[in-house]
Structure 1
Amino acid sequence: MSGQNTQLRNVYAEKALEQIPRLLSLQDRNRYSPTYGCFKRAFWMDKTVDYHDGLPQYGSLSLALAYTQNMPGNIFKDQEKMREWTIAGMKYWAKIQHRDGSYDEFYPNERGWTGPTGFLLYGMMRSYMLLNERGDFPETFRDEFFSAARRSANYIIKYDEHGVLANHHAMAVLPVFYTYHVLQDPSLLEGYEKKLADFMQYHHEKEGWSLEYDGADIGYLSATVSFLGKVYKLNRDERLRKVMEEATEFLSYFVYPNGFYAGSMGSRQTLHFYSHGCEILAPEMPLAGRVADALLVSLKEGKIVPAAIQSDRYFLYRIPEHLESYLDFGERRGEAKLPYERADFQKVFPESRFFIRKRGPIYLLGNAAKGGVIKLFDVESKKLLLNDCGIIGETTQGDVLTSQWVNNEYSFEHSGDSFAVSGALNPVPMSKTFTPLKRIVFVLFMLLFGWHTRLAYYIKGIIRKILVFTKAKKDVTFRREVALSDQLLRVRDSIELKGNTTFSSLQIGDEFFVRYVPQSAYFQSQEFDAKGFFLSEEQLAMLNEKKSIVLEHTVDLKRGTMGNLIVIS
C-alpha cells in the first residue's frame, strides 16, 4: 500500500476513534445501576425522556471494534473495561427487547422494523463475532443472547414497513444473514433469500439505483451498497456484487468536483456517504476505489457529514462505518475516472429523470423528478457555480408550496443540451410539531394500543404519510426550462395561478430542504456558495394580479458569475 493510501486510510480510524469518548460518555457505566449499559444518556442521566429507545445500543459495535482491532491511535485496544462496557451494552439490548423481537426508535411501542431492529441485530451479531473469536464472550450470556437474536431475526423476516425504503430492505438482508452465519439455522437462510428477493423488487438494474420512497436517493444508495457489501464479505453471492456494481456506477455521477456528495439531488436529500461497501468492492471494481478515495479526501476536509456534527441518535452509525472501512480498506487495482473527470458526455436516466452533461470544464446535473433541481460546477476550478433547488414560497393563505418535490406527474422533456420539467407546485408539510398535550395523548395511545404488532405497524404508516407525503396543489403550476450553451446556462421559470391562490413570498433557487428526513439538512460549507432570488413586492404584485409570471436567471460560464433574476413577461 502506498504512503498516500496509508495516510488516507488512517482518516477513517481518526474520525471514528475521536468519537469514542463521546460515545462512552453517553453510556451508563455504573455496574450497580438498573440501566447499566444503556447508551441513552437523556434517559438514564438527564431524565429528559421517559423511555429508552433501542437504537443507542448500536454503540456496542463501536466499542467492540475499538476493543478488538489494531488501528493507529487506538488507546481502547485490549482495555478490559472496554470489554465489560461492550457486553453491558449487549445485555441491555437483550433486556429492553419487545416480546416479538422488535425495538423502538422514535416513540414507545413503535416496534420499528430494520431502522432500529435490523441495525441493532447486525451490530450485536458483529460484536458477538468480534468478542467470540477472542474467547471474550461470556458463556453465561450466550443462550440469552442467541434467543434474543433469533427473535429479532424472525421479526425482520416476518414483517416489513409502510413506504418503500430500499436501504431498509438491504438492512433486512444483512442482519438475517449474519444471524444465520452464527446460528447456522436453515430457516434463517430461507429468510435471507426471502429478504433479498424483497429488496430486488425495488432495485432498478437498468439505471443502478434503488427506490427510496418515490425516487433515487444517492446518500442512502451508498448505505445500500454498504449493507449488501457486509454480506458479500462473508457470502460471495454474485447477485449482491451485481447490485453493488450497478449502484456504485450510478452514485459516482454525484461525487461532485468541489468534493461534496449527493444532497438535494436525491429523493430524500441526504448528504452522507457510507464507505464500507465501496472499500469491499474496490479490489474488484476500480471505480469503487476511486469513489472511496475521492470521498475519503472529502471526509478529511470536512465535506462529508462527520459524526461530530450529528446528533446522539445518528453519530452512532458513522463510527463503525469508518472503523470497518479502515479494517477492510480495499486494494486499488487499475485506474478509473469519476464521471466529471471523463471526456465530454451527456447522460439521461429516463426512469429516475436525471439529466447530466459534461461539456469541457462544465459539469451540469439536473433532477427533473424533483422539479428541476440543478447543480452546476466548473471542473477546472472545482467551484460550485449554481445550486438551484427550484421554486418555494408562502401563499397569503399560509401554505408553503414548492417545485422541489418528487412527483411522478411532472412532465420531463430533453433535447440536446437542454431539458424542461413542468407540473403543479406541492404543499410542504413543514409545521407539524408536538405540543405537550399532543405528546401526552400520543404516548398514551401508543401505550394502550401499540402492544399489538400489526396495529403499531399501521400507526407508523399513518405517521409517515402525514410527515413525508403530500399531493400537488393543482391551482399553481410551473414550467422550468434549463438550457446550456457555450457562454451561458439559462434557467427560465414560468409560474401560473389558476385559482384564488396568491403569494406573500416567493423564492427562486438556493439550497433548501423540504422533506422530513431526520438524516438530512446538515450544514455544509458549500451553502455559502449557493444563492437564491426573492421576488420583490412589485414582482409579487405582478404575479398575483396577472396570475402568471416568467422569470429568468443565467450563469456566465466564462466568468463563473451569476446574473440577476429578471422578468421576461
Structure 2
Amino acid sequence: MGKSIYSDFILKNVPRVITQVDRDEHSTTYGSCDRNHWHLKTRDFTSSILQQTGLSLALLYSVNFDGNIYYKNENLKKWSEATVYYWSKIQLKDGSFNEYYPYEHGFPPTAFSLYGACETYKRLEMMDETLIDKFRKTGKYLISHIEERAFNQEIASITALYSLFTIIKEDWVLAGIEPKLNRVLKLQSSEGWFPEYGGADLGYLSVALDMLSEYYYMSGDTRVKTPIQCVINFITYFVHPDGTIGGEYGSRNTTYFLPNGIENAVQFGDVNAAAIKDRLFNNSKMYNYFMDSVDDRYFSHYLMHSFLKAIEKERDNTNVNTVEKLPFLYNHCEYFKESGLISATKLPYHVIISLRKGGVIKVWRDGEEILIDCGYRVNYGKGKVAATNWLDPSYQISFGNHVAKVRGSMNVVSLKVSTPIMHMGLRLVAFLLGNKIISFLKKKMIFANKHSDIKFERIIDFRDTEIIIKDTIESNHKIRLEKASNMSLRHVASGKFYSDSDLLSETGVIATGINEAKINIIVSLDDGKVTYQYEQLA
C-alpha cells in the first residue's frame, strides 16, 4: 500500500482529536466530544457540533492506510459508537441541538451532527431503532428550517438528510431535500461560489464542496456535478503560489481548506481538482504547513473527517494525472464582478484583490508573499473601530483597463467582549426565545454594517513595471489614521487562525489630527520592493 498525500497530516493530528472524547465508560458524559464540558468543566453543556468527532473515529477504525495504528481497534469502535449514543442523549425535544448556548436550537450543530451520526451509524453497522427514531426527529427539524446566508450549512443539511435516507429509505426525506437542493443550486453564483454572509469565502466554500460532493457520492444525483465543477474552477484562481489559500479577501476570512470535495472531484476525472490537490496538500507533512494552525475545535468539527474521507477515496484515484496548470502559473487577469474579486498574474508576480472589502490586496513574487495590505482603520477607543476592509455591498467598485477602483464610507464596528452579566443575559434570551438568539447575535457581531462619515477611495493601477495603489481618506472631523491589521473585524468562529501573512502585516499610526490623507503604495515588478509615499496628511 503506497503512502498517501494525506497520511502524515492525519496521523500527527489524530491524538489531539481523540483527546477531545470522553472515553470513560462509567462517566455520565461518556461519548461527549466537548472536552471543555466533560473534562475542564468550563462549559455546562456539550457543544453538539463537536460530536462529528465520532465520524473521525469510525473512519480511523474502518479505513486502512499506511501508519494507521487505529485500524480495526475495538476501542476506537466503542468510543465512536458512544459518541452517537451521547448525541442522542443531548438532542432537544424538537430534534435540534445546541452549539454555543443552551436552548439555542442551532442550525449548524443540527445539520453537521446529524450527518456525522448517520455516517458513523452506517460505517460501524450499528443497529438500534431508538437511534433511528432520533435521526428521524432531527431530519424533520432540518426539513422545516432553512439557513439563508451560510450556504455551507444548508448544503450540509441536504447531505445529512440524504445520509438519513440511506438508513431509513423513507420518501418524505427525499421530498424534503428537493426544495432545499433546488434553492441552493438556483442561488449559486454564475462565477461558481455559494454565498457566505454576502460574498465568496474559500474556506467555507471548501466545506460546501465537501458536503455537496459527498451528496453526489452517495446519491449519484447528476444535477450537482456541473455546479461542483463550477466551484472547483472558481477555486483555482485563489490557490496561492506558496501553497496556501483564502484569507483576508474572503467574505469570512478563512484560511483552511477541506480536501474531501476535491478528492471526490478527482474521482470523476476533474483535472483542476487534481491540480488543486497537488498544490494545497503536497506539503501537509511539513512543520509549517498552513493548516497546522487550525484549532482543536475545527479539527473535531469537520477537518479531520474530511481528510479521512479523502484518504479513503484517494485509493481509487491513482490514474488521474495532473495536466492542468493553476492560474497563478500563467499570465492572466480575471475579474469576478459578482464577488468583487480579482486574480491576476504577470510572472513572476501574482495578485489577489477584493474590491468588495475595500481593496484588500495580496501580492506574491516568485512564490513568496511580499505584500498584504488591508487598508485603514480609525480607532475610537473602547473596542470601537472604523475600517475600510469590511464586506460592504454599498461600496462603488469597478475594474477596466487594468485599473481597479473602490470608494465608500468606512464601516464602524464594535468589538464585543463577553462579560458575566452579558453571558447570563444571552442565556436567558436563549431560554426564552430559542434560535432567535442566533439572529440577534449575527446582527450584532457579523452583519453590523454602520457607516461612518469618513470617506475613502482606493485605486489600484496595474502597469508594466509596477503596481500603484492610490488611497484617499477624507473626514469632516479630525481623525487618527492607522494601517489596518489583517485581523478580521467580522466575527467568524473559524477565523483568525495564524498564518504567515500575520508576520507580513504592518500596523501603526500614520497620522493624528488630520482631515485628509493621500497615500501611494508602489510595488516594483522589477525587484519586488514595496514603497509607501505619504503625499498629503492634513
Deviations 1:479-515 (A, max 9, x none): 00111212221111101113x4x323x2235523211
1:560 and 1:129 map into 2 onto residues whose CA distance is 54
* TM-score between both structures, scaled by the size of structure 1: 0.89
* TM-score between both structures, scaled by the size of structure 2: 0.94
Q: Are residues 98 and 23 of structure 1, via their aligned partners in 2, closer, same or farther at CA, if it must alter by over 3 Å?
A: same
4+ aligned runs moved over 6 Å, structure 1? none
What does residue range 106-145 of structure 1 map to in structure 2 within 5 Å?
Answer: 106-113=100-107, 115-132=108-125, 137=126, 139=127, 142-145=128-131
Q: Are residues 307 and 104 of structure 1, via their aligned partners in 2, closer, same or farther at CA, if it must alter by over 3 Å?
A: farther
Is the contact made by 2:467 and 2:523 (CA closer than 8 Å) also made in structure 1? yes
Residue 265 of structure 1 corresponds to: 249
Q: What is the aligned length? A: 533
Residue 491 of structure 1 corresponds to: 469
The reply on whether 1:288 has 2:279 as its aligned counterpart is no
What does residue range 161-560 of structure 1 map to in structure 2 within 5 Å?
Answer: 161=147, 164-204=149-189, 206-282=190-266, 283-301=268-286, 305-306=290-291, 309-312=294-297, 314-329=299-314, 330-331=317-318, 332-333=320-321, 335-342=323-330, 344-378=331-365, 381-395=366-380, 399-430=384-415, 432-447=416-431, 449=432, 455-498=433-476, 500=477, 502-504=478-480, 506-508=481-483, 511-532=486-507, 534-535=509-510, 539-541=511-513, 543=514, 547-560=515-528
Q: Per-residue deviation at 1:356?
A: 2.4
Q: Are residues 328 and 467 of structure 1, via their aligned partners in 2, closer, same or farther at CA, if it must alter by over 3 Å?
A: same
1:221 and 1:169 map into 2 onto residues whose CA distance is 12
Is the contact made by 1:208 and 1:246 (CA closer than 8 Å) also made in structure 2? yes
**What is the SS of the residue equivalent to 1:48?**
coil
1:215 and 1:24 map into 2 onto residues whose CA distance is 34
Q: 2:77 aligns with which of 83, 91, 108?
A: 83
1:89 and 1:488 map into 2 onto residues whose CA distance is 56
Residue 564 of structure 1 corresponds to: 532
Aligned partner of 2:502: which letter? Answer: E
Aligned partner of 2:157: which letter? Answer: A
Aligned partner of 1:175: which letter? Answer: A
2:351 and 2:323 map into 1 onto residues whose CA distance is 24
Is the contact made by 1:270 and 1:520 (CA closer than 8 Å) also made in structure 2? yes
Greater CA drift, 508-517 or 118-127? 508-517
**What is the SS of the residue equivalent to 2:361?**
strand
2:73 and 2:142 map into 1 onto residues whose CA distance is 34
2:36 and 2:384 map into 1 onto residues whose CA distance is 35
Is the contact made by 2:329 and 2:347 (CA closer than 8 Å) also made in structure 1? no
Q: Per-residue deviation at 1:528?
A: 2.0
Q: Per-residue deviation at 1:302?
A: 5.5
1:240 and 1:154 map into 2 onto residues whose CA distance is 23
Greater CA drift, 352-361 or 75-84? 352-361
Q: Per-residue deviation at 1:440?
A: 2.1
1:397 and 1:85 map into 2 onto residues whose CA distance is 46
What does residue range 41-80 of structure 1 map to in structure 2 within 5 Å?
Answer: 41-80=35-74
1:102 and 1:84 map into 2 onto residues whose CA distance is 25
1:424 and 1:241 map into 2 onto residues whose CA distance is 41
**What is the SS of the residue equivalent to 1:225?**
helix
1:55 and 1:215 map into 2 onto residues whose CA distance is 24
Q: Are residues 284 and 398 of structure 1, via their aligned partners in 2, closer, same or farther at CA, if it must alter by over 3 Å?
A: closer
Is the contact made by 2:364 and 2:371 (CA closer than 8 Å) also made in structure 1? yes
Is the contact made by 2:374 and 2:484 (CA closer than 8 Å) also made in structure 1? yes
Is the contact made by 2:16 and 2:296 (CA closer than 8 Å) also made in structure 1? no
1:17 and 1:272 map into 2 onto residues whose CA distance is 18
1:195 and 1:145 map into 2 onto residues whose CA distance is 25
Q: Are residues 395 and 165 of structure 1, via their aligned partners in 2, closer, same or farther at CA, if it must alter by over 3 Å?
A: same
Is the contact made by 2:238 and 2:343 (CA closer than 8 Å) also made in structure 1? no
2:50 and 2:221 map into 1 onto residues whose CA distance is 31
1:396 and 1:550 map into 2 onto residues whose CA distance is 24
CA RMSD of aligned residues (A): 2.0
**What is the SS of the residue equivalent to 2:19?**
helix
Identity across matched positions, percent: 27
Greater CA drift, 277-286 or 99-108? 277-286
1:290 and 1:89 map into 2 onto residues whose CA distance is 36
Deviations 1:153-192 (A, max 9, x none): 111111124x501111111111011111221111101112
Is the contact made by 1:421 and 1:480 (CA closer than 8 Å) also made in structure 2? yes
1:304 and 1:203 map into 2 onto residues whose CA distance is 31
2:507 and 2:137 map into 1 onto residues whose CA distance is 51
Residue 13 of structure 2 corresponds to: 19
1:56 and 1:293 map into 2 onto residues whose CA distance is 29
2:306 and 2:151 map into 1 onto residues whose CA distance is 19
Greater CA drift, 553-562 or 43-52? 43-52
Is the contact made by 1:20 and 1:63 (CA closer than 8 Å) also made in structure 2? no
Q: Per-residue deviation at 1:565?
A: 3.5
**What is the SS of the residue equivalent to 1:144?**
helix
